Structures are given as C-alpha cells and as structure tokens.
Amino acid sequence: MTQENPRRDHDVVDRALHSFDHVLDLVHDRVLRPIILAGRALAFGFIIVLASIVLVCAFVIGLTRLMNVYFFAGHEWITYLVVGALLVTTGMIIWRRRRPLQLRK
C-alpha cells in the first residue's frame, strides 16, 4: 500500500502540471502571439519606411550631383528645375491616384 499511494500522488501532480502547462500554452497562443506579431509588423514597417526615405533622399541627391557634374555644369538652375519638375510630377501622380474617404472602404 505504501507504493500505490506515492504513485497516485505522482499522477495527481503530473495531471496538475500538465493542465497548468496547457493553460499557459492557450494564453500564449491566444494573447501573447498576436501581440508579438503586431509588434514585429510595426517594427518592420518602421524599418521599411525609414529605409525607403533614406533611399529616396540618396537618389535625389545623387541625381542632382550627377546632373550638376555631367549634364548641366555651370548651370545649376537647370538641375534644380529638372529635379523640381520631377518631384512635382511624382507628387501630382500620387495625388491623382488617391481616392476619397468614402470609396476607400
């Protein structure tokens, strides 16, 4: 009888720990996992936005220097006119592609 009693206590502890582990897994899957995924998406989104801003700025600076040195040497105003026209045209295209708030849904 002394052998069955510790065996039974061992089974109760195993079942209790198994149910506790199961509850923790459920909490992790239903609560923590969506929070972690949202945080990752937000962090990667910020990284992508900041990297794209840096790349666009580097492209505009490189285009300006390239045009100043090779195409319009001594006539910087033409370079600024071309870069400004390019940026205004890009802005107008983006502005025309937008939709009113009622049509977005």
Mean pLDDT computed over 71-98: 92
- In whole angstroms, what is the distance from residue 8 CA to residue 11 CA? 5
Structure confidence at residue 86 (pLDDT): 93
Provide mean pLDDT across the span 1-15: 67
The confidence score (pLDDT) of residue 105 equals 62
User: Is the model more confident about 22 or about 8?
Assistant: 22
pTM of this structure: 0.62
Buried b (16+ CB within 10 A) or exposed e, 34-63: eeeeeeeeeeeeeeeeeeeeeeeeeeeeee
pLDDT at 101: 74
